[in-house]
Structure 1
Amino acid sequence: MPKDIEVSAATFGNDEEGVDTIFVKEKPKKTWRSNIWDTWDKTPEERRFLFKLDAGILSICCLGYFIKYLDQANLTNAYVSGMQDDLGMYDNQLNYVTTLWTVGYIIGQIPSNIVLTRVRPSIWLPSSELYVLRFFIGLAESTYYPGVLYMMGAWYRKDELGKRAVIFNVSSALATMFSGYLMTAVIGLDGRGGLKGWQWLYIMDGVISLPLALAGFFVMPDTPANSRDKAIAIARVQKEKREQLQPYTRQKMFKILASWHIYLLPLLFFLAGAAGALGQPIFSLYLKDSVNPKYTTAQINDYPTVTSAVQIVACLVYAWVSDGLLDGRRWPVLLFATTISFVLYVSLAVWDIPEGWRWACYIIAGQGVIVSPLILVWATEICSDDAEERAIVVGTTNDFGYVISAWLPLIIWQTVDAPRYHKGFITASCSCVAAVVLIMVINILVRRDQISLIALAAEQLEYTQ
């Protein structure tokens, strides 16, 4: 298949005689500068528009995701910094608390993304960040991640989406790092005002979260159709052949349920979640359990932030490669990152390995985080021609990752098994293998669909001649 043909760009239009015809667009030529940042080869008008879009979407969405993950990371850091003893959270209580959050997160995601196709993102998403209590925090936060990715999929083109989605996702790693440093800082407040140090951590969390959530009402954009730059916004979306919002008809729902998208993409994310050992406090609890040498509370909070630093660097590199050098192809990066994770988890499952390599496995594991956002980006692009399907598939896909997080940790990541987690690392290794197979299957199906578009285009052109 010629490399200069953009297979997914087959679209319907009218020729001079009013006959419906399918056009296949050639890929635009790219300079080396566009592999670094994608605005260089665009018109001045579109570059100004993208700058405003990035200033709105990336700024507030990254800050919102930062506070979302700050809350999640604070639980682990508080747990290893005195909360376990103060609240008597021995055995598997940490797993139970995490599961309560996850259940709320699961319940809210798909309904939220459906609501998001009808309610402005600038109203719906910030509103969901203002609630409290653990279950309702999970329920409220369920709107954010899939909702932002749905919104990004509505605004950004294929050569722009991957790196921006990963920049957004990197906010979680920054929050995890910041939470560790914040915990180290507030330890000095232990006893101040009759509160423990870990309690001050949650107070700081609230102080940071509230103004950022309120800012979302004023900064968060809505959709291209109601943008101030409506003409250029809609023109960019039409270049990607993304359909505008349509009614939720019975025919549309049958079409969505009959497609492989709604089944295989969530299954892939499900496997990525099962392979997500990094989602557990494996490094922190390993350090807490170690007695030779005995690490201080500050070290237990600070050392795992190196994993987050690796996550940031690796994810940005992977995203730039996927968007630029690979022309928006996602599957090669997914295969590479998942294979690396397989090697790391197998090593940790063996456990009797050199101490230096064990530390390396904990730290390098951060690179595998790219799999989750890139799967959702891939899902967004695969479903780009149907806004309602995109909302449901993205919400369902992200939901499946958390479905497994609601119960699997209670079986294979039990706190009482720390720090070895033999069952957990075995399961993560097997999930990596299954994910590799499914990535290749999905890529074959995507190419099959693209070839069908080309065949349809050729048939239509022959008919019109």
Structure 2
Amino acid sequence: MTRDSESAGVDVGSKGKTWKRHVWDSLDKSPKERRFLLKLDLTLLTFGCLGFFSKFLNQTNLTNAFVSGMKEDLDMFGNELNYAMTAFTVGYIVGEIPSNILLTRIRPSIYIPALQVIWTVLTFCLAAVKNNTQLYAVRFLIGLAEAGYYPGLQYMIGSWYRKDEMAKRACILNASGSIAMLFSGFLMAAVTSLGGRGGLPGWKWLFIIDGVISFPIAIGSFFFLPDLPQNAKTRVFSEEEIALAKHRMVLEDRKPRAPFTVAKVKMVVSSWHIWLLSLYYIFISGTSGTPIFPQFLKYHENPKFTVQQINLYPSGVFAVQAFSAVVYAWISDTVLKGRRWPILLFGAVLNLITWASLAAWYIPDGWKWTCYYLAGQHVGLSGIVFTWANEICTDDTEERAIVLATMNTMVGVVATWLPLIVWQQIEAPRYRKGFITASCMGAVCLILIPLMKVLQDKETIK
């Protein structure tokens, strides 16, 4: 224990790093810090993942509901599904940055669970919509409520965990979203048996079940989700544990809250942090949500796949997302000793190979299938990207909140128009323009990552 930690009256660190840290980072830390981290994981990480799971379940199930009777019941035979998805995206874009700014001023233990309750109630409302106008309005409001959740949780992870702990938690959070997408199809299959019960079709029961899953998670978050170290109450942690949390952030040079000023806003906007991190996240996430694999299976001729196979086989992509997220996190935190850029560079190279191969198109079927599955690994990089952003912006909590929200917002902005240009339905399954665009994005990432590393090193030297 260092002299600084002794003077602070807290117990931080261990006598030496051992092989145990490669299994889990807290195993070679002091008993007090280990107990603190266990409690933090059981509250922040557990309820964060449960909330993210329910968020993605709700977000994904719109498409499942559409193909399970909502299309016919609401007369959605044109572009109504696209409009409903766009309404959600617009709400999401509008809400992200203001929400993360509010999170620096309102207790997260109140604010984040309140968002969960709002989107849960609105999910129940989806089961009651009678026309497309109501559907668009409710989806916009759900997007607005859900906007602050993911960047808010990443901000909280960066406010509680140290450098050797963050990536694993951020990537476990991401993996919970991939698991929700994997679970969604199976839930829809199970809910179809409820069709007709209470006079409601199966797709309405799907939204009701979504709400039933989300509601207890939201209520539990009110009781167990912690605030930030600087405004935490003893409801979740003891005074000694709060002192420990604060000192851990001092050791990481992570600054507490400060007033918003014009000078601070100018500093955030003029820094490379917000621009390059957002640009990189756009390029690494630019293909998310594009149904390229199902379309390939749908148009495949020999053999011809059944509808069940078309829905089942792409589920493996979500498994790749979850697996890669966890593997990348462990390698970054342990093997690479907290360095993020090598993992991101590896992922960018893999992305470039994957998309360039699909752009070439006339490749062996086995390699084509491999590329479709490997495309999921870029989602596993998201937690690493947000961890690096937390570290780069460590000395200004307001900048950190704004940068994290802006990164996620800009991906949403691009997602509203890019698919209309390069991922057009009429070009399925080859998507030549889309795959070439994705390849170019991967190539640019190979430049952005070393550039950001050099700029970060210059700031560290200063």
Match of 2:127 in 1: none
Matched to 1:255, the amino acid is: M
| Greater mean alpha carbon deviation, residues 169-178 or residues 71-80 | 71-80
Could you tell me how far apart the structure 2 residues matched to 1:86 and 1:178 are?
A: 25
Q: Are 1:335 and 2:322 matched, yes or no?
A: no
Match of 1:407 in 2: 417
For 2:244, which of 232, 237, 241 is the aligned residue? 232
Q: Secondary structure at the match of 1:71?
A: helix
Question: How far is 1:321 from its partner?
Answer: 0.4
TM-score w.r.t. length of structure 2? 0.86
Question: How far is 1:235 from its partner?
Answer: 1.0
Match of 1:75 in 2: 62
Q: How does 1:16-165 map to 2 (within 5 A)?
A: 30-81=17-68, 83=70, 89=76, 92-129=79-116, 130-131=118-119, 132=122, 133-165=138-170
| Shift in alpha-carbon separation, 1:76–1:338, aligned structure 2, 3 A | farther
Could you tell me how far apart the structure 1 residues matched to 2:212 and 2:300 are?
A: 34
Question: How far is 1:32 from its partner?
Answer: 1.7
Match of 2:216 in 1: 211
Question: How far is 1:163 from its partner?
Answer: 0.5
Q: Secondary structure at the match of 1:242?
A: coil
Question: How far is 1:184 from its partner?
Answer: 2.4
| Shift in alpha-carbon separation, 1:57–1:359, aligned structure 2, 3 A | same
Tell me the C-alpha RMSD between the 2 structures: 2.3
Could you tell me how far apart the structure 2 residues matched to 1:77 and 1:292 are?
A: 27
For 2:364, which of 334, 345, 354 is the aligned residue? 354
For 2:273, which of 261, 265, 287 is the aligned residue? 261
Note if contact 2:317-2:373 (Cα within 8 Å) is conserved in structure 1.
Answer: yes
Match of 2:313 in 1: 303
Question: How far is 1:159 from its partner?
Answer: 0.5
Matched to 1:238, the amino acid is: V
For 1:168, which of 165, 169, 173 is the aligned residue? 173
Could you tell me how far apart the structure 1 residues matched to 2:404 and 2:437 are?
A: 25
Gaps of 5+ in 2: 5-12, 123-137, 235-240
Q: Secondary structure at the match of 1:115?
A: helix
Match of 2:387 in 1: 377
| Greater mean alpha carbon deviation, residues 394-403 or residues 200-209 | 200-209
Q: Are 1:250 and 2:244 matched, yes or no?
A: no
Q: Secondary structure at the match of 1:353?
A: coil
Could you tell me how far apart the structure 2 residues matched to 1:395 and 1:388 are?
A: 11
| Greater mean alpha carbon deviation, residues 409-418 or residues 325-334 | 409-418
Q: Secondary structure at the match of 2:255?
A: coil
Question: How far is 1:153 from its partner?
Answer: 0.6
Could you tell me how far apart the structure 2 residues matched to 1:262 and 1:271 are?
A: 14
Gaps of 5+ in 1: 1-12, 14-25, 453-465
| Shift in alpha-carbon separation, 1:394–1:104, aligned structure 2, 3 A | same
Could you tell me how far apart the structure 2 residues matched to 1:439 and 1:409 are?
A: 25
Could you tell me how far apart the structure 2 residues matched to 1:172 and 1:98 are?
A: 18
The number of aligned residues is 426
Question: How far is 1:82 from its partner?
Answer: 5.3
Could you tell me how far apart the structure 2 residues matched to 1:280 and 1:27 are?
A: 46
Q: Secondary structure at the match of 2:381?
A: helix
Q: Secondary structure at the match of 1:408?
A: helix
Could you tell me how far apart the structure 2 residues matched to 1:345 and 1:90 are?
A: 32
TM-score w.r.t. length of structure 1? 0.86
Note if contact 2:285-2:378 (Cα within 8 Å) is conserved in structure 1.
Answer: no
| Shift in alpha-carbon separation, 1:338–1:196, aligned structure 2, 3 A | farther
Matched to 2:252, the amino acid is: E
Q: Which has the higher contact order (CA 8 A, sep 6+)?
A: 1
